[in-house]
Amino acid sequence: MSKRLLKAEDLYVLNSITNPQLSPSGEEAVFVRTSIDEEKNKYIAHLFHLDLTSGAVTQWSYGEDRVSSPTWSADGRNVAFVSNRNEKKQIYIISKNGGEARQLTTLANGVSQFQWSPCGQSIWFSGRLKEGKNFTDVAEKEEKKKPTAYIVEGMKYKADSIGLLSQDSYNHIGKIDVASGDIELFSEGNHNYSLEAVSHDGKKLVLSVNRAENKDFDFSQQLLLVDIETKKETTILNEEGNYGDAYFSYDDRYIAFYGGNHSYKNATHGAVYIYDTEEQNYRNLTEGFDAPIGDLAVADHQQGATAPTVVWTKANDLYFQVSTMGDIRLYYATLDGAIYPASPENEHVYGYDIERDGAFALLAISNPIMPGELFKYDVTTGERQQITHFNDAFVNEVELVQPEAITYKSSDGFDVYGWLMKPAQYEEGKKYPLIVEIHGGPHAMYANSFFHEMQLIAAQGYGVLYVNPRGSHGYSQAFVDAVRGDYGGGDYADIMAGLDAVIENQDWIDTDRLGVTGGSYGGFMTNWIVGHTNRFKAAVTQRSISNWISFFGVSDIGYYFSDWQIGTDMKDVEKLWQHSPLKYAENVETPLLILHSEKDFRCPIEQAEQLYITLKSMGKETQFVRFPDADHNLSRTGLPNLRIERLNQITGWFEKYL
């Protein structure tokens, strides 16, 4: 029986399987399945239990809300998780023996993080508190108030997906007694704390905090080892950069944590660091490893997929994800710095946990023609067994296109990697249009992962080319840094060289029907492309940057991101203008569809407004689509109906002009 073509509405059919967590015994696990309720236009995430001996999968939570962060107690009797079933995110506990989940916290502002105390009798957590308040204070009754002025003094006053930041509340650490519900406030002062780790003996915490008075240009992170009884702090490190996500070894001697200094600003490769609590020093375990630690892939399917930076075994070996050569693979390391790949190529390990003795792993795996399932994986033999089958019906019913990996040389000798998809139901001898997709970041990467949007475009009868130009993660530090200060230079050349390479080698591509699209940095590049070449017959720019001069002041990150990426600030507006696609608007002859979210604080909608009005005033072929109640992440986590509308706008524009 022939398979059907994929549709935009298949978003409602797909299941996102994430967050596998092995029990202390290694005999069972929990995970989260997220789906979309079309009628209610919302995401629903439930907790599931997995018996690894029998393979039985059992749903543990129900309702119309979302759960996240499932975590076993040290004795394996209970699982705590976060749910928004009562509006604010609160901690719930469910027994492995069954029964209803019990709500543990009723905090006025909800919970942002939590970790079990090893004794199982209490849970450490973090949440926001107004200045002078305690977690035990009763929530003030919400009354309709008159609007008040928001007085801005600092530069970090807003954030995408949040809006204006609270000026009188801070993230604090507390501990709650599981039996009584009594809460103790642990952290002090008007600072934002992050709970990073709890030691296995229950005597120490790792916290991160920035106590600088003026944080506008201060990107330092202080990582602290704190004695719970005395509150004595030992500084693990205090440096410019991004550090945190710590994990104690089972013997509590070592603390592994994630970090990246600011040598290359936000293009710096993330690394695994090891702190020795006896020697009181730290070192970069992956220093000689020229690839970033963690999952840097961009896609549009997985919901709430989080993975630990590091998982220890009892033998003090470590496992972690590495983004490398278009894959996200599991790697194994020893404390003396030996590092080896522990999972195969050509896939995306987007979640994992390791049995304590290192006997096996539980992996959440996706590839371009598999949306994602859980697998039990023997890290020694490489044998694997698929455990969940939530997306089997979809895979068996829908024709999915396997991309072909490509490699080519850019104009200045860089090796560039990417993928080419033929149209679904491709027929030899026919000519087909081709769409070039460009990812955001720019320090992200396309990967060997399922991408609903790519498959949809192929199902519409287009070939799809997507590459990782310079600036993309997953390759060398030199490669990811090469875009900084050169937006529209070598990165543009990389993309166009990829187009030339596939046209030369694939006679099915109709060079008179080429399209291009991308979002965020990919939107910038789409704007840049149509201002510098007429090769494309249609283009769709999404959540884009068009004017670096105004971006400096309107983006939530603009005032420092512009310097990090373009290499200057408002002291040199000529350079900002030189790299602004808006400067080249008069050259645009490609019909351009402009898509933008109303609540995008990362690339604010004024970027789209400037571009649209400028092009329209010049008599160019363009259209502007605004999405209400959507932020910078519309394509990934936006309201489901708006995600469908966005996809229809993209395919409709290409259908009209190609």
User: Is residue 393 domain-shared with residue 422, that is, in the same domain?
Assistant: no
Q: Are strands 348-354 and 361-367 parallel, antiparallel or unpaired?
A: antiparallel
Residue range 350-356: average pLDDT?
98
> What's the mean pLDDT when you consider all of the chain?
95
The last residue of one of the domains, among 398, 426, 445, is: 398
Residue 57 located in a structural domain: no
* Domain count of the fold of the chain: 2
pLDDT band at 544 (very low <50, low <70, confident <90, very high): very high
Residue range 146-160: average pLDDT?
92
User: Is residue 509 domain-shared with residue 546, that is, in the same domain?
Assistant: yes
Q: Among candidates 38, 597, 620, 636, which has minimal Cα distance to 299?
A: 636
User: Is residue 371 domain-shared with residue 446, that is, in the same domain?
Assistant: no
Q: Is the pLDDT of residue 600 over 80?
A: yes
Residues 37-51 pLDDT 10s: 999 999 999 999 999
Residues 411-461 pLDDT 10s: 888 899 999 999 999 999 999 999 999 999 999 999 999 999 999 999 999
Residues 56-78 pLDDT 10s: 999 999 988 999 999 999 999 99
User: Is residue 467 domain-shared with residue 361, that is, in the same domain?
Assistant: no
User: Is residue 417 domain-shared with residue 514, that is, in the same domain?
Assistant: yes
User: Is residue 541 domain-shared with residue 494, that is, in the same domain?
Assistant: yes
Q: Are strands 538-542 and 509-519 parallel, antiparallel or unpaired?
A: parallel
**Cα dihedral 336→287→319→322 (10° resolution):** -150
Q: Looking at residue 560, which CATH number applies to its domain?
A: 3.40.50.1820
Catalytic residue numbers read 520, 632
Q: Is the pLDDT of residue 332 over 90?
A: yes
Length of the chain: 658
Determine the angle formed by the axes of helices 640-657 and 452-459, rounding to 10 degrees: 40
Over the range 151-187, which residues count as b (16 or more CB within 10 Å of their CB) and which as e?
eeeeeeebebeeeeeeeebbbbbbbbebeeeebeebb
Residue 37 located in a structural domain: no
- Give the pLDDT score at 213: 85
Over the range 236-255, which residues count as b (16 or more CB within 10 Å of their CB) and which as e?
bbeeebbbbbbbbbeeeebb
**Enclosing domain of residue 526:** 399-657
Residue 422 located in a structural domain: yes
The last residue of one of the domains, among 366, 398, 430, is: 398
Q: Is the pLDDT of residue 230 over 70?
A: yes
- Give the pLDDT score at 292: 96
User: Is residue 635 domain-shared with residue 541, that is, in the same domain?
Assistant: yes
Q: Is the pLDDT of residue 578 over 60?
A: yes
DSSP string, 323-381: EETTEEEEEEE-TTS-EEE-S-SSSEEEEEEE-TTSS-EEEEEEETTEEEEEEEE-TTT
Residues 284-304 pLDDT 10s: 999 989 999 999 999 999 999
User: Is residue 291 domain-shared with residue 431, that is, in the same domain?
Assistant: no
- Give the pLDDT score at 412: 87
User: Is residue 407 domain-shared with residue 313, that is, in the same domain?
Assistant: no
pLDDT band at 136 (very low <50, low <70, confident <90, very high): confident
- Give the pLDDT score at 491: 97
Question: Torsions phi, psi of 218, nearest 5?
Answer: -105, 110
User: Is residue 572 domain-shared with residue 512, that is, in the same domain?
Assistant: yes
CA distance readout (Å), 311 to 5, 333, 361, 362, 569: 40, 10, 10, 12, 41
Residue 381 located in a structural domain: yes
Using alpha carbons only, what angle is made at residue 327 by residues 603 and 20, rounded to the nearest 5 degrees? 85
pTM for the full predicted model: 0.96
- Give the pLDDT score at 24: 97
- Give the pLDDT score at 86: 79
- What SS3 class is residue 184? strand
Residue range 586-590: average pLDDT?
98
Question: Torsions phi, psi of 208, nearest 5?
Answer: -125, 145
User: Is residue 367 domain-shared with residue 505, that is, in the same domain?
Assistant: no
User: Is residue 499 domain-shared with residue 628, that is, in the same domain?
Assistant: yes
Q: Among candidates 483, 471, 477, 484, which has minimal Cα distance to 287?
A: 477
Q: Looking at residue 363, which CATH number applies to its domain?
A: 2.120.10.30
Helix (H) or strand (E) holding 550: helix 548-554
Q: Is the pLDDT of residue 1 over 80?
A: no
Q: Is the pLDDT of residue 160 over 60?
A: yes
Residue range 634-644: average pLDDT?
97
Integer Rg of the chain from CA = 25
pLDDT band at 138 (very low <50, low <70, confident <90, very high): low
- Give the pLDDT score at 219: 87
- Give the pLDDT score at 78: 96
Lowest mean pLDDT among 212-221, 256-265, 639-648: 212-221
Residue 117 located in a structural domain: no
DSSP string, 419-444: EEEPPTT--TT--EEEEEEE-SSSS-
Q: Is the pLDDT of residue 484 over 90?
A: yes
Residue 616 located in a structural domain: yes
Q: Are 603 and 520 in contact (CB under 8 A)?
A: yes
pLDDT band at 140 (very low <50, low <70, confident <90, very high): low
Residue range 458-475: average pLDDT?
98
The last residue of one of the domains, among 398, 422, 439, is: 398
Residue 598 located in a structural domain: yes
Residue range 581-599: average pLDDT?
98
Residue 393 located in a structural domain: yes
Residues 17-35 pLDDT 10s: 999 999 999 999 999 999 9
Q: Are 471 and 441 in contact (CB under 8 A)?
A: yes
User: Maximum CA pair distance of the chain?
Assistant: 76
